Every structure is written in C-alpha cells, then in structure tokens.
Amino acid sequence: MTFAELKEKSLDELNKLVADLRAELFSLRFKNATRQLDETHKIQLVKKDIARTLTAIKAKTLEGNK
C-alpha cells in the first residue's frame, strides 16, 4: 500500500485499517512463535504498513488544525 493511496482515505477508514493491520500483526507474531509461519518477512511488511497509515493519520489531523 502506497502513501498516496492512504492520503485519499478518510480518518475513519485509516483508523479501521490500523486496527486490522494490528490484528494481522498479532496473528503473524503468534504463528511465528509457534513455528507455523513460513514467510517471516511479512511481519516487517505489516509493521511498515502500520507506520505508513499512522503517518497518514497524523498528516490528516495536522491539516485539519490549520
């Protein structure tokens, strides 16, 4: 997911996306701990998606305060 795609979404959609990504991250970490995760690189990808989404949320809230 690119930052440009995230900028087009509303705050509600972004907050829901963060919640979904955090749930996915929890699931991936659990699978990794039980040695059921084959593609461990997905953990890093999800963490980066969360960071991008949180950055987009912060940018939108700062835009609204101006």
For the chain, domain boundaries:
3-61
What is the per-residue pLDDT for 10?
A: 94
What is the per-residue pLDDT for 66?
A: 60
Contact, 50 vs 4, CB < 8 A?
no
According to CATH, what is the number of the domain 3-61? 1.10.287
SS (H, E, C) 11-36: HHHHHHHHHHHHHHHHHHHHHHHCCC
For residue 9, what is the DSSP state?
A: S
Q: What is the pLDDT of residues 8-56, one digit of tens each?
A: 999 999 999 999 999 999 999 999 999 999 999 999 999 999 999 999 9
Q: Is the pTM of this model over 0.85?
A: yes
Phi/psi of residue 36, nearest 5 degrees: -105, -5
